């Protein structure tokens, strides 16, 4: 049974309720969820599932399930297990997720300042990075910071856009990330649009307006192998 992925349509849902459809070794499956699973470089959500009697089941991580559009809520060690059919309250660790959303969206903006193929990326609650296939001499931390923050200051609203696989095939320039090809086979691909700044396939969670990022600073730039230059950033506030 697939999980209805509520965060795809509203990344700002902090609570919801859902029914347990599976409990197994890897964790708990629900009929719908607001928990984002590890993927596309973004960390999985943490939080809690709350039983009708108030008992809390702390969730340490969220992962994709074996079938498409299923996911598994991974309980913290020693957490109680619910029964199949039980209705639970869902609460995500919002401070953590919101930091992930702001940093994730910041990477979209930064990828328009550093114009080079993206070879990898990662988003954790405290910091995020992109790896580029670029000469070290072309990366200047002060310039990246200044230009990224100038774009953030435009305060543009983000939009989710869906296109067909065929439309994406006709516009290969949309795919900046060489290491992560957008998922195919579902017939359509989700894009994040930051009008006037960026447009690229992405299944992650983003802020509604880039002004919410506030600002970024570059923590460090270093070489990671022959072709990889890693730019690590954090939020300024």
Query: Residues interacting with Zn ion, by CB under 5 A?
Result: 192, 202, 204
Contact 81, 74 (CB under 8 A): no
Q: Please identify, using beta-carbon distances, which residue of 189 and 202 lies nearer to Zn ion.
A: 202
Q: Can you tell me the distance from the alpha carbon of 180 to that of 192, in angstroms, rounded to the nearest whole number? A: 15
Find the shortest distance in angstroms from Cβ 121 to Zn ion: 9
Angle at 129 between CA 125 and CA 132, to 5 degrees: 165
- Ramachandran angles phi, psi of 18, nearest 5°: -155, 165
Find the shortest distance in angstroms from Cβ 108 to Zn ion: 6
Residues 6+ apart with CB under 8 A from 176: 111, 117, 118, 200
Rg (CA), the chain: 19
Find the shortest distance in angstroms from Cβ 148 to Zn ion: 15
Find the shortest distance in angstroms from Cβ 172 to Zn ion: 18
Q: Please identify, using beta-carbon distances, which residue of 27 and 36 lies nearer to Zn ion.
A: 36
Q: Please identify, using beta-carbon distances, which residue of 37 and 204 lies nearer to Zn ion.
A: 204
The residue of the chain with the least Cβ separation from Zn ion equals: 202
Q: Please identify, using beta-carbon distances, which residue of 34 and 202 lies nearer to Zn ion.
A: 202
Find the shortest distance in angstroms from Cβ 202 to Zn ion: 3
Q: Label residue 32 exposed, middle or buried (CB < 10 Å: 0-12, 13-18, 19+).
A: middle
Element counts in the chain: helices (H) and strands (E) = 3, 15
Q: Please identify, using beta-carbon distances, which residue of 106 and 202 lies nearer to Zn ion.
A: 202
């Amino acid at each position: 049974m697939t999980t209805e992925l509520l965060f795809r349509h509203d990344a700002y849902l902090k609570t919801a309720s859902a029914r347990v459809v599976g409990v197994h070794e890897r964790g708990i499956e629900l009929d719908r969820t607001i928990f984002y699973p590890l993927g596309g470089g973004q960390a999985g959500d943490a939080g809690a599932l709350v039983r009708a009697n108030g008992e809390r089941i702390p969730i340490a991580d969220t992962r994709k399930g074996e079938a498409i559009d299923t996911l598994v809520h991974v309980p913290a060690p020693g957490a109680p297990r619910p029964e199949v059919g039980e209705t639970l309250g869902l609460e995500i660790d919002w401070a953590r997720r919101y930091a992930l959303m702001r940093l994730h969206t910041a990477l979209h903006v930064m990828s328009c300042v550093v114009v080079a193929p993206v070879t990898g990326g990662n988003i954790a609650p405290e910091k995020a990075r992109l790896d580029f296939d670029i000469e070290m001499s072309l990366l200047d931390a002060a310039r990246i910071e200044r230009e990224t923050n100038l774009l953030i200051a435009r305060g543009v609203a983000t939009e989710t856009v869906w296109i067909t696989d065929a439309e994406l095939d006709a516009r290969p320039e949309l795919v900046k990330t060489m290491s992560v090809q957008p998922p195919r086979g579902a017939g359509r691909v989700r894009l994040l649009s930051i009008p006037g700044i960026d447009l690229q396939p992405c299944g992650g969670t983003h802020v509604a307006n880039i002004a919410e990022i506030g600002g970024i600073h570059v923590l460090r730039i270093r070489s990671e192998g022959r072709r990889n230059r890693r730019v690590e950033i954090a939020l300024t506030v």
